[in-house]
Amino acid sequence: MMVTTYSSVTERLLQSTEEHHKIDDFKRHIPRWCTGCGNGGILTAMQKLCRDENLPRENTVFVSGIGCSSRFPHYMNAYGFHGLHGRALPVAEGIKMARPDLHVFVNTGDGDCCSIGAAHWIHAIRYNMDMTVILHDNNIYGLTKNQASPTSPIGLSTNTTPRGSILEPLNPLLVTLGIQNASFVAQTVDWIPELMYDILSKAYHHKGLSFIRVLQRCPEFVPDMFQAWMDEPVTTRLLTHENGLSVSPALSRTYTNQEVHDPSNMDRAREIASLKDQVPVGILYRNDEIPCYEDVREPDRLQTSGGVRDVLEAEFDNFTIWPEN
């Protein structure tokens, strides 16, 4: 993500008085997620990243929609915007456009992103603005207590599908890979912290919109959803590459199913995203060359408050209802 460049004098002065944050500096409130909820691991990875990158809290913002996962900004000691259901992305885009120097993160659920917010999702990918988007995919509407989401598997019995879900689930990876300008598409699982962190860190460093789908456990409503994959490490396929995951030897001993996948290979990325009997974990696709909307659309001239006011007033004047005299 973009980092503001300062003059060398400023750099020196800021460095000399720079604060180094600890993980606790990024914590706020006690999370009100259920015990065992996968969101906890995502939060921890994020707080670690903020600490390791020493992100200035005043220049970091978390934007979310509505859902359990969308409570995320409350638990980060930084700026946050807990918005409307499905509307995290357009809010984040507005923030990035006005303040390209901020580090922008988006937390959205499978209902929030893939259902009510699906239109925004498609266009946000196409706009490719420099931000990190985390899709907390628990295959369920958690906050509203157990309704089927677009990613719920066939047969899942929920409040809205008491006799089992009947539709083929939507595959968020395949959808994202199919949208023009997709520049970083990855998948990870909340239960392997090492990979959760590694992918988050790589997404953060990618210039452009990084989309990470995290398979996130909801023990409250779908306790068995990912159990088989957790019990059988061989069903998890790690995508390794010099431009992809780095896997520690210890983890390699547990997760032996590995594929060297070059993330610039879109065709293979789509094949991997379509795997049914295995969970791919890693960077499926990345392309660092795709321009970011905020860079392409950067105005030639600076928008002063005076200039903006003049334009707005001219527009409002068109609609003023003149008081009767």
Partner 1 sequence: MSTNTQDLVAFRLTGKRPAQDSDDASAVVANSADSSGLCPVLFAGYSDLTSLRYDFPVILINGPHHSAPMRSLTSIMNDIIDSLAPKGSEGEFDRKQLLELERQIRSYAASGDKGTLSKFWKKAQADLIRGTTSSERKALKACLDQARTLVDVDGEVIDCNEYTCSKITEHLWDFEVTAKAIRFRKRVGALILRLERILEADFQISGDAQDPANLKGAVGDALASSFDFKALSDLLKGSDTHDVLPVTRKERIENSLKALKQQRFFATSYLDTDERAADEAGLKVHKYIFNTCTKAHDAFLDRLPEMVELIKAIAIAELEIVNGYKDGFDDDFFLGFDQTSLMPEDLELFPSYLAVCCGQPWSTTEKGRIIETLSSGLPIKIMVQTDDILPPSSFGAGPFSWGLSGAQLAGLAVGLGSAFVLQSTASNLYQLRSELQAGLAAPGSALFSLFSGAGAQTSEKQLAGTNRNGSYITAAAAMEARAFPTFVFNHEAGSDLAARFSLLNNPHSRSDWTSYSLDCEDDDLQRTTLDFAFTIADFMATDERYRNHFVKVVKSDWVSDMVSVGEYLATSSGDMSDKIPYVLMINEAGEASRYVVDDTVIRATKRARDIWHDLQELGGINNSHARKRLEEEYEVWEAKKQDELESLRVEMAAAAPVSVQDVNAPSAMSETLAPAVRQATDADAGTAMPPPQGAELKETAPEPQVQNDDPWIETVRCTTCNECTDLNNQIFAYDDNMQAYVANPDGGPFRDIVVAAENCQVAIIHPGKPRNSNEPGLPDLIKRAELFM
Ligand X SMILES: Cc1ncc(C[n+]2csc(CCOP(=O)(O)OP(=O)(O)O)c2C)c(N)n1
Residues 35/216, Cβ–Cβ less than 8 Å: no
List interacting residues with ligand SF4 (CB under 6 A): 33-34, 37, 39, 68, 138, 142, 218-221
Q: Of partner 1, ligand X, ligand SF4, none, which one does residue 15 interact with (CB within 5 to 8 Å by kind)?
A: none
The entry of partner 1, ligand SF4, Mg ion, none near residue 110 (CB within 5 to 8 angstroms by kind) is Mg ion
Out of partner 1, ligand SF4, ligand X, none, what residue 274 binds, judged by CB under 5 to 8 A for its kind, is none
Q: Using CB distances below 5 to 8 A depending on partner kind, what does residue 135 bind out of Mg ion, partner 1, ligand X, none?
A: none
The residue within the footprint of Mg ion, chosen from 38, 43, 93, 110 (CB under 5 A), is 110
Contacts for 199 with CB less than 8 Å, ≥ 6 apart:
186, 188, 212, 245, 281, 282, 283
**102 neighbors 60 (Cβ within 8 angstroms):** yes
In 103-129, which positions are buried (b, 16+ CB within 10 angstroms) versus exposed (e)? bbbbbbbbbbbbbbbbebbbebbebbb
Binding mask 87-126 for ligand X (x = CB under 6 A): ----------------------xxxx---x----------
Minimum separation from the CB atom of position 274 to partner 1 (A): 27
Report the residue from 105, 121, 127, 141 that binds ligand X according to the rule CB under 6 A: 141
Q: Give which of ligand SF4, partner 1, Mg ion, none residue 233 binds (C-beta under 5 to 8 Å, depending on kind).
A: none
The string of DSSP letters for 157-171 reads --SS-TT---SPPP-
- Please, what is the minimum distance in Å from the beta carbon of residue 189 to ligand X? 16
The distance of closest approach from Cβ of residue 235 to ligand X in the complex, given in angstroms and rounded to an integer, is 23
CA distance 169 to 203: 25
Binding site partner of 221, from ligand SF4, partner 1, ligand X, none, Cβ cut-off 5-8 A by kind:
ligand SF4
DSSP bridge pairs for 63 = 81, 106
Binding mask 135-154 for Mg ion (x = CB under 5 A): ---x----------------
Q: Under 8 Å CB-to-CB from 147, ≥6 apart: which residues?
A: 111, 140, 141, 158, 159, 160
Q: Is 62 in the site for ligand X (CB under 6 A)?
A: no
- The span from the CA of 41 to the CA of 28, in Å, is 15
Q: Which is nearer to partner 1, 181 or 240 (CB)?
A: 240
Residue number with CB closer to ligand SF4 (34 or 266): 34
Q: Is the dihedral of CA 171, 177, 181, 184 positive or negative?
A: positive
DSSP secondary structure string for all residues of 244-266: SB---HHHHHH---EEE--TT-H
Report if residue 170 touches ligand X, rule: CB under 6 A.
no
Give, as one character, the DSSP assignment of residue 84.
Answer: -
Tokens standing for 175?
A: 């959808």
Going by C-alpha positions, the residue among 249, 288, 266, 55 that lies closest to residue 258 is 249
Interface residue list for partner 1 (CB under 8 A): 6-10, 13-14, 16-17, 22-23, 31, 33, 35-38, 40-41, 43-44, 47-48, 56, 58-59, 190-194, 196, 217, 219, 227, 230, 248-250, 252-253, 301-307, 310, 313, 320, 322-323
**Which residues does 277 contact at the CB level (< 8 Å), separation at least 6?**
235
Which residue has its beta carbon closest to Mg ion?
A: 109
Which lies closer to ligand X via its Cβ, residue 70 or residue 183?
A: 70
State how far the Cα of 206 lies from the Cα of 186, in Å rounded to an integer.
12
Residues that bind Mg ion (CB under 5 A): 109-110, 138
Chain residues binding ligand X by CB under 6 A are 66-69, 85, 109-112, 116, 136, 138, 140-144, 149
